Structure 1
Amino acid sequence: MARARSTDVERSLGRRMRGAAGLAALAGLAWVARDVPAALGGRLSGARAERAARSPQFREGTFHNRAGTRTMIAEPGRNLLRELIFGKQKRRPTAPVPLLRPSAGTADTADELTIVWYGHASTLIEIEGRRVLLDPVWSDRCSPSGLVGPRRLHEPPVRLDELPPLDAILISHDHYDHLDMATVRALLAGQSAPFLVPLGVGAHLDRWGVPAERIIELDWSESHRVAGLEITATAAQHFSGRGLRRDGTLWSSWVVAGARRRVFYTGDSGYFDGYAEIGAEHGPFDVTLMQIGAYDRAWPTIHMFPEEAVSAHLDLRGGLFVPVHWATFNLALHDWSEPVDRLWAEAKARDVRLAVPRPGERVVVDEPPAVDGWWQAIA
């Protein structure tokens, strides 16, 4: 009976949408029906659920931050939907974002440390001859659907199949702009590196076909050695969720440590005293990769403002500051260039070493390029 009803709907739609446009629409609907449920990911069960329940971060069925946080704070007299539709912010660049193809790396040099930012949070760390990829998202939209949701403001500077061989792939949390099903499946086929993820996120990878031996789930302060690197999941102040369920998986920041070089990545986080603790335990860091975009006074505890990111960098005992989580997707109401403009001003005021690469530009941490304000011409 269910199949008969489905056939009737398809026939009705087919009569109304003739020609190529109608076929394309039907194909799109079929894609949604097939792939959206999978993109929502998996649910914790069995040994994975039992391990989550033992975490100090887990209580009453969900994960929690150390301090109380709210994902949205109502502000009297402010209508976010109206502001989204009718606001005067310049939320898109006025011309194409300049992309670079990464120059030939020197990852085989034992002391070399370089960073390649591909856009948003997707970043390649080349450290002491090893390569670690952070939060890869290559899809056109950060969404469970290819038809709706925030769309890219620039293309990835390289194709996924052009990435060099990877030693590890790190995921900070399960939001769609950090964990993308299509990208994971492509990396599963084209790379052999393990996926290191916070507790519970392995359920999504498991549903998408990643074998158990390539999934390493860590709680805060837990470490795993891979390819001579010590990779540690560290605290963050954020939340998680795909679909309607919230906080069923953990979120984290990451420390990537070699024999001589150290890198810190925030993931998504509000500013909190955990940065000073991480700096004291794991720092100093040669470079920090810091979230600077998608902030708003309506959610101040789960995303940092640029000035707070500078404070966090100093708490962490960071050397070079490289901003991430801006320029690629519209996820907040501020101007497209506001995060990096505010960051540049604050970095100068507090004497923080800063590099602002174009997507695809390789940054040699010991010899970073001077900040040239490249984004201002298209803001």
Structure 2
Amino acid sequence: MKTFLKLLKRTLIALLGAMLILIFMVWFYMGKPQFGALPEGERLEQVKKSIHYKNGKFRNLEEKPTITEGYSMLGEIWGSLTKEYPHTEPEDILPSVKTNLKSIPADENIIVWFGHSSFFLQLDGVKILVDPVFSGKASPLPWGVKAYKGSDIYTADDIPEIDYMLLSHDHYDHLDYETAKALQPKTKYVVCGLGAGAHYQRWGYTKQQIIEKDWDEKVQVKSGFTIFTESTHHDGGRGFKSSQSLWLSFFIQSPDMTVYYSGDGGYSGRFKKIAEKHPAIDWAVMECGQYNKAWQSVHELPEEVALAVTELKAKNLLPVHHSKFTLAKHPWNEPLERISALSQTKPYRLATPMIGEKVKLNDNTQQFKQWWKNIK
């Protein structure tokens, strides 16, 4: 009996030691710069003044559970470990076009999409870069989510001088450490949600470069050109503490063109309200991909995307958040298939460019191929 107790004691001490070592390793790794920083000091005080920050975290306008009724987090984790999900990423190299962004004439109004939610927007000569991720990954872990073959053809070196970098939220597939670091010298301003400036400041951005906004605020770019920060239904976080920086959508109004970018977020009544506030939307750039009925509250299904665009009364739709990273279990090309079918009877025009293809915002006759067809 004494021998057994001694063995049990040694085993428990060994397990405790291993746990302490593991905790220290996690703590040390989480201190790496790619995890960013939490707001503190003056920035934290500004966060706390927001009416959307309650009980220690930012909240959505409509409180509802992340996991849909009838599903469970444990069930989703178990399913991801035990079930086979076909065709979640392409076998083939995705087709693309390498547009020279530095040679685009200043009088062209264009969008160039880089896959997932990253895109370059030029309006009235103003250069805007949205949610750039050029590192080829959507995770801080070495074995994490990697970009599809052919989807990662742009680097920070390909990007011209940027007037405004817009950040919808601080998840890794939208805010990339390596990309943000590389773009700092060529970025005039970053517009992000309250609290998110802590990441950029840790990564070498000056206070003068960082513009942090709440919902229902704006940035005056120049006469007749305004960037409005609007709500979405999502969350944020890069570590163990979530929702410490605010998630945004954007309405961009130039003298002759308007663009709405949804950011990430589930369907809610906000689209009708945004349409009332901004009644003339030329282009809606909408999240459409990496969805699941189990977390439908924070990521729209394609049917909800089509409904939201009609409620926004947008003239054109550019679907994003697909064709670069697998973050859900649907087939990689399903978002494009479903939104193409759904859009046939809708009043808006659908644009489905290849990665890198120039979308001419003033040309409503521009044609787009269904480039994802016949890709294995």
User: What band does the TM-score fall into relative to the shorter chain?
Assistant: 0.7 to 0.9
- Following the alignment from structure 1 to structure 2, what is the Cα–Cα distance between the partners of residues 231 and 301? 26
- TM normalised by structure 1 equals 0.86
**1:16 equivalent in structure 2:** none
- Following the alignment from structure 1 to structure 2, what is the Cα–Cα distance between the partners of residues 239 and 364? 32
Q: Provide Cα deviations, 1:247-270, integer angstroms capped at 9, x if missing partner.
A: 111101011111121110011011
State the identity %.
31
CA positional deviation for 1:366: 2.6
Q: What SS does the aligned partner of 2:274 have?
A: helix
Q: Provide Cα deviations, 1:285-311, integer angstroms capped at 9, x if missing partner.
A: 111110000110110110011111111
Q: Which amino acid aligns with 2:106?
A: D
Matched, 1:185 2:181: yes
Q: Which amino acid aligns with 2:211?
A: I
Q: What SS does the aligned partner of 1:374 have?
A: coil
**1:17 equivalent in structure 2:** none
Q: Which amino acid aligns with 2:177?
A: M
**2:3 equivalent in structure 1:** none
- Following the alignment from structure 1 to structure 2, what is the Cα–Cα distance between the partners of residues 34 and 66? 34
Q: What SS does the aligned partner of 2:172 have?
A: coil
Q: Is the 8 A contact 2:275 2:313 kept in 1?
A: yes
Matched, 1:367 2:338: no
Q: Is the 8 A contact 1:291 1:304 kept in 2?
A: yes
**2:374 equivalent in structure 1:** 377
**1:14 equivalent in structure 2:** none
Q: Provide Cα deviations, 1:98-141, integer angstroms capped at 9, x if missing partner.
A: 111116765421xx421100111000111111110000011121
Q: What SS does the aligned partner of 1:185 have?
A: helix
**2:62 equivalent in structure 1:** 67
Q: Provide Cα deviations, 1:134-186, integer angstroms capped at 9, x if missing partner.
A: 000111211123x1211111342322111122110000001000011111100
Q: What SS does the aligned partner of 1:298 have?
A: helix
Q: What SS does the aligned partner of 1:301 have?
A: coil
**1:260 equivalent in structure 2:** 256
Q: What SS does the aligned partner of 1:141 have?
A: coil
CA positional deviation for 1:56: 1.5
Q: Provide Cα deviations, 1:167-214, integer angstroms capped at 9, x if missing partner.
A: 10000001000011111100013x032110011000111111111000
Indicate which of 273, 284, 305 corresponds to 2:280.
284
CA positional deviation for 1:367: 2.2
Q: Which amino acid aligns with 2:279?
A: G
- Following the alignment from structure 1 to structure 2, what is the Cα–Cα distance between the partners of residues 291 and 236? 11
**2:4 equivalent in structure 1:** none
Do the aligned partners of residues 163 and 227 (structure 1) sit closer, same or farther apart at CA in structure 2, a change above 3 Å counting?
A: farther
Indicate which of 106, 112, 117 corresponds to 1:108.
106
Matched, 1:204 2:199: yes
**1:236 equivalent in structure 2:** 232
**2:19 equivalent in structure 1:** none
Instruction: List structure 1 segments (4+ residues) > 4 angstroms apart after TM superposition.
Output: 32-36, 103-107
Deviates more, 1:366-375 or 1:78-87: 78-87
Matched, 1:275 2:261: no
Q: Which amino acid aligns with 1:58?
A: Y
CA positional deviation for 1:82: 4.6
Q: Where does the alignment leave 5 or more consecutive residues of structure 2 unmatched?
A: 1-24
Matched, 1:322 2:345: no
Do the aligned partners of residues 225 and 76 (structure 1) sit closer, same or farther apart at CA in structure 2, a change above 3 Å counting?
A: closer
Do the aligned partners of residues 293 and 36 (structure 1) sit closer, same or farther apart at CA in structure 2, a change above 3 Å counting?
A: farther
**1:216 equivalent in structure 2:** 211
**1:305 equivalent in structure 2:** 301
Aligned length: 345
Matched, 1:294 2:279: no
Q: Which amino acid aligns with 1:40?
A: F
Do the aligned partners of residues 57 and 276 (structure 1) sit closer, same or farther apart at CA in structure 2, a change above 3 Å counting?
A: same
Q: Which amino acid aligns with 1:123?
A: F
Indicate which of 90, 93, 96 corresponds to 2:90.
93
**1:128 equivalent in structure 2:** 124
Do the aligned partners of residues 90 and 148 (structure 1) sit closer, same or farther apart at CA in structure 2, a change above 3 Å counting?
A: same
CA positional deviation for 1:283: 3.2
CA positional deviation for 1:33: 5.9
Do the aligned partners of residues 378 and 235 (structure 1) sit closer, same or farther apart at CA in structure 2, a change above 3 Å counting?
A: same
Q: Which amino acid aligns with 1:219?
A: D
Q: Is the 8 A contact 1:294 1:303 kept in 2?
A: yes
Q: Which amino acid aligns with 1:198?
A: G
Q: Is the 8 A contact 1:321 1:354 kept in 2?
A: yes
